[in-house]
Structure 1
Amino acid sequence: MEHNREQILQTYQELHQLAEPSWQEEKTSAYIREKLIRAGLNVRTFEDHFGLVVEMKGELNDVIALRADMDALVQEVDGKVRANHSCGHDGHSTMALFTALAIANSEHSFKHTVRVIFQPAEEKAEGALKMIEAGALENVKFLGGIHVRPAIEIPFKKAAPVILHGSTATIQGVIKGVPAHAARPEEGNNPLEAAAFLIQAIRQIQLKDAHKYSIKITELHGGEASNLIPETVHFTFDLRAETNETMNKLILKAEQTIKKISELTETVIESSLGEYSPAAVRNPKAMELGKKAITSILGEENYVQECPSPGAEDFHFYSLKKPEISATMIGLGCDLKPGLHHPKMNFNQGALVYGTKILTSLLLEADQEKW
């Protein structure tokens, strides 16, 4: 199957310039849709978001699929806050797009139906759930993805068949005390003092027989005057865990700790789980297909067994909600520096060419399986 290097690089550069935030990917979606339609493909759109699904019918109704994300971050770049592609989603969309185009233009006949999902709002960890709700996983037996990786994780021209993202979550809450003048503290109940107790108690959390995890305060807001005890304090805790099981234990322990501090300090503490992304789960069958695809394009010497990552990725909601699906995300070495989400992130764009070839090979390998 042919992959035109110049067209791949040009498309990436054009998508890079579009850069739209989560749930606002209108121009990005229209750009991708236009290229798919021009190739004679039927594209499914949605009324309530800018996600796309393109499908190429095979002999079977069983589906082998790819997923790519489309949204950009909103961050300060050179003194201006704007949408900025510093996580590589423009590259992911480029590779998935040209994989779809290569299959559409190929004389190879696929047994399985091939589906490519272009997903919105990955950065908010909400897009995968929306695509699942819209039926994007109907009849899917295999799901692949790809993500550009920092140079410190995977070297240029190498790739791994799985990225082992951890689970992340936030707990946000409000501590409500009793306001008073600072000259008469006995008349109030200081929520800032309750917050101090809570922070120390959270720091003491320990889980037995658990994988790597962390929980720490990342936001604390309260008080408007130096001589007043405030009524409320707002807080956020950031939670990280290597596995979903550990994250579940960590959330439960945090909730129990919050309840105890509320009782101890006689304050009202209302809290809720905010942003949440599940951890990756190794799928041996999908990983083996990933290995075959990588070695067929880059050779055995450029295969990396796995890519542990401290970050998160909402791709793993697909496996969490549909555990019967064989799924994996390819980690693509591309000399990415200084790092993901850095406003000056850049990488060797030539990696998009062999990344596209790996995705195409991945679907060819998946098509040979009996699902």
Structure 2
Amino acid sequence: MSVKAVCDYLKERQDEIIRTYEELHLLAEPSWQEEKTSQYLANRLKEAGLTVKTYPDHFGLTVDIEGEEKEIVGLRADMDALVQEVNGVVKPNHSCGHDGHSTMVLYAALAFAATGIRPKKSVRFLFQPAEEKVGGALQMLKDGALDGVSMLFGVHVRPVMELANGTAAPAIIHGASASVHGSISGLQAHASRPERGRNVIETAAVLVQSLQNIRLQAGCSFSVKMTQLTAGGETSNVIPDKATFKLDLRAQSNEGMKELQEKLGHVIDHVSTLMGTPIEWKIPGEVPAAILNEQAEGLMREAIAQVLGAENVEQPCVSPGGEDFHFYTYHKPELAGTMLGLGCGLAPGLHHPEMSFDTKALTAGAQILATALLYAASGKDV
């Protein structure tokens, strides 16, 4: 292994790493539209003598460094930005740190190339599109980007309330999340004769109250909340007969999410029968919870200790948020995976339009990721 050579290479390029981050920050592009970002990364990788694989249906990239064995260990970054209002203007904005993630993974790849490492196992660097729209990981799986990969690392910058600057966690325990889209059908009537109608707003109100009675046996934290409701027209004296709604579902485990969806179905059926208003619903998208792997987490823990010191290794972050990285381990149960949680002074918080962090932490992040990858590629055990 050449941990020292890789870490020295990255330390010497701290200013360059920050400059790269700033350039990627300005390129902010929405999910599935990461053309300039992808081209920027591809050019930098090609300049280093690496062979870049592109895909016909999206802007994702992969780069392989051949090892002595065919088994592959991987490192993944996401590339897309949010679309949100910033100072009164709606535009793509990197307020989730994906520009920082791409920077760290790019420089881990450049460090491998510059130091001429030929690891025992082969190494793959993945730059994934569309994390924010929850489709990128599934598309990469469909395209075979994870074929042959036995272990996969990821990274996410963490808010200061979770991790202090200069510390890091060897895993992020994201929860499962799902979005429910539904509609309620009632019967119109004049508001002076409400008994002749079936009011969909009243059905929605009963549904909201009934959701609060859900309890799970799975023993994990969860929430189910109505986040959107649209009903009625412009007049105030008509009982409305159509409504649409959206629910946000969260559970800290995949088992909890399965139980939550089952109990949600029972609640909706009960309310529909009680109120005499048919309710149709579907789940157009969901994200699985993290699946922990002791080997991957252990290698990441040792990598953090190597770079930051053992005193700066924190416990895994427990996050109620979702992350499509976990589709990889969910759909490939044999795949060992973990995400580095990087403390970097991030404030006010993820997805805040004015989010910022200490960009010097990107160097340490790249060092940790490259070290964990070297450990995995060498077959190191923990």
Do these two structures clear the TM 0.5 threshold for a shared fold by scoring above it? yes
1:341 counterpart residue number: 351
Return the letter of the residue paired with 1:11: T
Structure 2 Cα separation of the partners of residues 166 and 69 of structure 1 = 19
Return the letter of the residue paired with 2:321: G
Moved more, 241-250 or 175-184: 175-184
Report the alpha carbon displacement of residue 209 of structure 1 after superposing the two structures with TM. Answer: 4.6
The within-5 A match list for 1:208-357 is: 208-224=217-233, 225-357=235-367
The alignment yields a C-alpha RMSD, in angstroms, of 1.2
Return the letter of the residue paired with 2:219: A
Runs of at least 5 residues in structure 1 that lack an aligned partner in the other structure:
none
Superposition misfits of 4+ residues, deviation over 6 angstroms = none
2:3 counterpart residue number: none
Return the letter of the residue paired with 1:83: P
Q: Is the 8 A contact 2:121 2:379 kept in 1?
A: no
TM-score w.r.t. the length of structure 1 is: 0.98
Q: Is the 8 A contact 1:170 1:273 kept in 2?
A: yes
| Aligned pair partner of 1:96 in 105, 125, 139 | 105
Structure 2 Cα separation of the partners of residues 309 and 189 of structure 1 = 41
Matching of residue 365 in structure 1 with residue 375 in structure 2: yes
Report the alpha carbon displacement of residue 370 of structure 1 after superposing the two structures with TM. Answer: 7.2
1:55 counterpart residue number: 64
Structure 2 Cα separation of the partners of residues 274 and 26 of structure 1 = 26
The within-5 A match list for 1:11-50 is: 11-50=20-59
Other structure's SS at 2:302 match: helix
Return the letter of the residue paired with 1:367: A
Q: Is the 8 A contact 1:124 1:275 kept in 2?
A: no
1:192 counterpart residue number: 201
1:123 counterpart residue number: 132
Structure 1 Cα separation of the partners of residues 349 and 295 of structure 2 = 30
Q: Per-residue CA shift, 1:88-143, capped at 9, x if unaligned?
A: 00000000001111111113221111101100111111111111111011000110
Structure 1 Cα separation of the partners of residues 263 and 67 of structure 2 = 49
Other structure's SS at 1:293 match: helix
Other structure's SS at 1:51 match: strand
Count of matched residue positions in the alignment of Structure 1 and Structure 2? 371
Structure 1 Cα separation of the partners of residues 139 and 33 of structure 2 = 14
Identity of aligned residues (%): 51
1:155 counterpart residue number: 164
Other structure's SS at 1:312 match: coil
Structure 2 Cα separation of the partners of residues 214 and 288 of structure 1 = 31
Return the letter of the residue paired with 1:66: L
Moved more, 107-116 or 118-127: 107-116
